[in-house]
């Protein structure tokens, strides 16, 4: 009984009309998601009696990029803008350079951006400014371990341990020959 019901369900699903309907529904859902997630071209800065004053997305991105250029520990900023009602929310994604402290950078950048967006661009309804660290660029490693090419591998001595009256020391920082080294 169950096998017969399953077989008729599969036959119904494989009909062309059903496939077209499902395909159209998936396409509509995809277009709807793209429409909802798109970035706004302009953000309303403020409204006057004569109309609205808007700021382009490009102007906001340029302001964030020039602000990040002033901080030596920040690179590759990207901006996402979301407008909910009349409030603009921002997400700034950036990479930290070696020595950058995220707490200090976040505090400095948020305060600067909040001031610049309100004073320079006139955006009155400013929401959250989220800072997202997307990566960390490490600096050069200063190591005390000697380089492999700097010193040849140790050679075995023909004397067994304990037969020598003198103690030999290994000094990796000195290239002078030691007792027992062949010249």
pLDDT in tens, the chain (183 residues): 688 887 787 777 777 887 888 889 999 888 888 777 666 778 788 888 888 888 888 888 888 888 888 888 887 888 888 888 778 888 888 888 776 778 888 888 888 888 888 888 888 888 888 888 888 776 666 667 766 555 555 555 555 555 544 444 444 444 455 555 554
Q: What is the DSSP letter of 57?
A: H
Please give the Cα distance from 178 to 183 (Å, whole number).
10
Task: Write down the CATH superfamily of domain 42-136.
Answer: Cation efflux protein, cytoplasmic domain (3.30.70.1350)
Beta bridge partners of residue 43, listed in sequence order: 55
The token pair that represents 62 in the structure block: 């340029």
- The DSSP annotation for 58-93 comes to HHHHHHHHHHHHTSTTEEEEEEEEEEETTEEEEEEE
3-state percent helix, strand, coil for the chain, nearest multiple of 5: 35, 25, 40
B/e letters for 11-39, b = 16+ CB within 10 Å, e = fewer, are eeeeeeeeeeeeeeeeeeeeeeeeeeeee
pLDDT for res 170:
47
pLDDT for res 4:
81
């Amino acid at each position: 009984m169950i096998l017969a019901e399953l077989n008729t369900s599969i036959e119904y699903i494989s009909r062309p009309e059903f496939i077209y309907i499902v395909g159209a529904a998936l396409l509509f859902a995809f277009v709807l998601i793209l429409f909802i997630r798109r970035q706004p071209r302009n953000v309303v800065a403020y409204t006057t009696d004569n109309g609205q004053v808007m700021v382009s997305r490009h102007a906001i991105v340029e302001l964030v990029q020039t602000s990040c250029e002033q901080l030596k520990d920040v690179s590759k900023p990207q901006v996402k803008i979301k407008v909910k009602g009349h409030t603009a929310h921002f997400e700034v994604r950036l990479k930290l350079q070696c020595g950058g402290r995220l707490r200090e950078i976040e505090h400095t950048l948020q305060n600067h951006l909040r001031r610049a967006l309100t004073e320079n661009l006139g955006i009155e309804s400013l929401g959250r400014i989220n800072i997202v660290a997307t990566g960390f660029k490490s600096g050069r490693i200063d190591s005390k371990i000697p380089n492999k090419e700097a010193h040849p591998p140790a050679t075995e001595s023909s004397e067994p341990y304990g037969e020598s009256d003198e103690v030999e020391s290994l000094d990796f920082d000195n290239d002078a020959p030691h007792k027992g080294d062949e010249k």
